[in-house]
Structure 1
């Protein structure tokens, strides 16, 4: 029975019906507004895939997992290489897409019979690490088939993309067929609570002043902390890295029929002008010049490992990756301007 199709389907259904358990304990996670945003999307879902994106180290996976804590009908799979679909089927113990759909439909029926569940739709989470470079075409096709099928959506596909380039490569039939949720830096209140969890309730402000508000940086600072001087060392390291990234990004150029487009210089200059004007909300893709799309730029950023700017997918704008990158970029651009004849 266990090796029969019915047995495989039932085993997979049983696996999905278990309440989802995140990697971190609940008392290790700071409550964030974005967690509630994701949960609202889950509870109110009707159709189309959800894309979770944001700056590397902002806490996307943690926020998504926390939003799904205790939810039944969830299966999470890491997309590591081009063979991810076969790995997905193997991890669920099913023979292919047809059997996967049967599993999802059965899970959906079971969820609809239960009272008080967060959602009556099964959820397939596809987590795409920063190192993954290919596979978004197949992810897009699967998401379209499962979440936007004309005959009725079978599952809520949630794609958690560490790389903006991968997030932008997602296409299940246009932007109207996806919901973008951005995970940004921590707020001051969230940072204070995170640092309190790591034993720095009293001196949390010193951490944020030296290291900013990105979750990964603050956790790393706590792990490296040996005293106030260690924060200064980390700040110096971060500034050195930011300076290197800005200088590298200034070399970002694209050859077009009209000549070479200095995309990096154009974007940084436009962002600096935008901040100097008092707006600071970022600039659109036309700031780069014709011939260099955001997808081109984000691919370049990933390939060259230079991240002084981000493409904010929900707002369709370039923004500085952090206040530190903005500060360093302004210094470098001002220095170049002063040295020009």
Structure 2
């Protein structure tokens, strides 16, 4: 609770420094999240389902991080990026799922202005970081398949660590810009957000001022977010071209297997985004909210499953970790 108070004070100081204080008649101190308040029975079911999925996210990604750190054979660029992805998924869901669960369980749907901005900042930063990180992982697979002999030289620690850092920095910088622009907007009488969480588009709709600058920046941000997808597509065109030139069927199968998990994660991640934002708008907002919930919870839960399902290296590392833990307990 003290941490939240300190963050609230910190954001208040930022507002003063940036001359963003609003007049008393237009200043909002809190928002109301609608969620699925019109469907109380559905909320009970979703609470149990989302709680189970959140625990699976913490367990699955936590185990993947643990085995990648524990087993020296997994100290490679691919698993370094995978650790970052797993940690990112934990952070992303932790920025929104506890708030969703609380609203399902207690019915309390009020959130302070500062807490709303913090939650929006964190979720947006994690989403942007994941887009860039998936692009960096595609570059790693491109070098591994197209230049296997030079892979250890090209993808050394001096290369893959800055690539991961750049992913995180770009996510946080982009989120700072988006959140700062949203904080400058005046919010008047309407404080009801028709969503589970403080989603940036839902928040912008409540502003009682011109949001054309915000919309323009958002459109530019969409182009930026799909740049990693373009990089992924180009990388896999070269990968496919290289794999098809491999004479051995076993060699082609092995090459494809090293990329299949990443390609599946990319398909699920971007496929859900495209479906969520490019589908015709539904008359019933409940369906749109459930799609957003799927994007925010199901995708992070699937990532560790996809990467460990047919990965013999991860299976071996998990067996070693469990065996060692069992012997420690026996002693």
Same fold (TM over 0.5): no
TM-score range, shorter chain: under 0.3
Structure that is richer in helix per residue:
2
Query: If the length of structure 1 is used for normalisation, what is the TM-score?
Result: 0.22
Structure that is richer in strand per residue:
1
Query: If the length of structure 2 is used for normalisation, what is the TM-score?
Result: 0.22
The answer to which structure, 1 or 2, has the higher relative contact order (CA under 8 A, 6+ apart) is 2
